[in-house]
């Protein structure tokens, strides 16, 4: 059974659909959910710039944790800072660091158009992950 469930969230409706899946897995296995949110930054002209504020990132995690706890599961959150375009790798590495048994992701995130052209984060996570990946639709 899965004891530590990593849940990737980005604030999108698709990611929100993954929340009850992760919570139910945690309850069934007597485990916990680790809410992972990647706060991206990019570089331009030698300077780093943030794609979202720290407060925005923390709010996404807090809302998700509130929902998980309301469902009767336990959880904790982690905001990860990563270079734009490396979200999937950051999620997989963080899941490994948290010793997750599985990783739960939404079928699409905020970058639907980029996902259609370049490959979605969920698709990349499936290929990079060292543990089973559950894709919620």
Q: What's the pTM?
A: 0.89
Asked whether residue 5 is domain-assigned, the answer is: no
E strand or H helix at 137: none
Asked whether residue 12 is domain-assigned, the answer is: no
Whole-number pLDDT of residue 82: 93
Asked whether residue 55 is domain-assigned, the answer is: yes
Whole-number pLDDT of residue 59: 97
Asked whether residue 120 is domain-assigned, the answer is: yes
Asked whether residue 94 is domain-assigned, the answer is: yes
What is the sign, positive or negative, of the torsion defined by CA atoms of 60, 119, 125, 30? Answer: positive
Mean predicted confidence (pLDDT) in 32-45: 90
Asked whether residue 75 is domain-assigned, the answer is: yes
Whole-number pLDDT of residue 75: 97
Number of folded domains that form the chain: 1
- 117-130 pLDDT, tens per residue? 334 899 999 999 99
Whole-number pLDDT of residue 115: 46
Contact criterion met (CB below 8 Å) for 15 and 6: no
DSSP 87: H
Asked whether residue 129 is domain-assigned, the answer is: yes
Percent of the chain with pLDDT over 70: 90
CATH of the domain at 91: 3.40.50.620
**Position 44 confidence tier, pLDDT thresholds 50, 70, 90:** confident
Buried b (16+ CB within 10 A) or exposed e, 66-75: ebbeebebeb
Asked whether residue 108 is domain-assigned, the answer is: no
- The range of the structural domain enclosing residue 119 comes to 29-101+114-136
Whole-number pLDDT of residue 18: 96
Ordered DSSP codes for 69-80 = HHTT-EEEEEEE
């Amino acid at each position: 059974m899965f004891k530590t469930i990593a849940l990737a969230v980005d604030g999108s409706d698709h990611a929100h659909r993954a929340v009850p899946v992760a919570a139910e897995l945690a309850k069934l296995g007597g485990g916990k959910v680790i809410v992972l949110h990647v706060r991206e930054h990019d570089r331009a002209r030698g300077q780093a710039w943030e794609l979202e504020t720290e407060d925005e990132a923390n709010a996404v995690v807090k809302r998700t944790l509130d929902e998980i706890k309301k469902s009767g599961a336990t959880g904790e959150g982690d905001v990860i800072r990563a270079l734009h375009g490396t979200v999937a790798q950051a999620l997989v590495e963080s899941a490994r660091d948290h010793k997750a048994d599985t990783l739960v992701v939404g079928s699409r995130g905020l970058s639907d158009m980029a996902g259609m052209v370049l490959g979605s984060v969920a698709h990349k996570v499936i290929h990079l992950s060292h543990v089973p990946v559950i894709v919620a639709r």
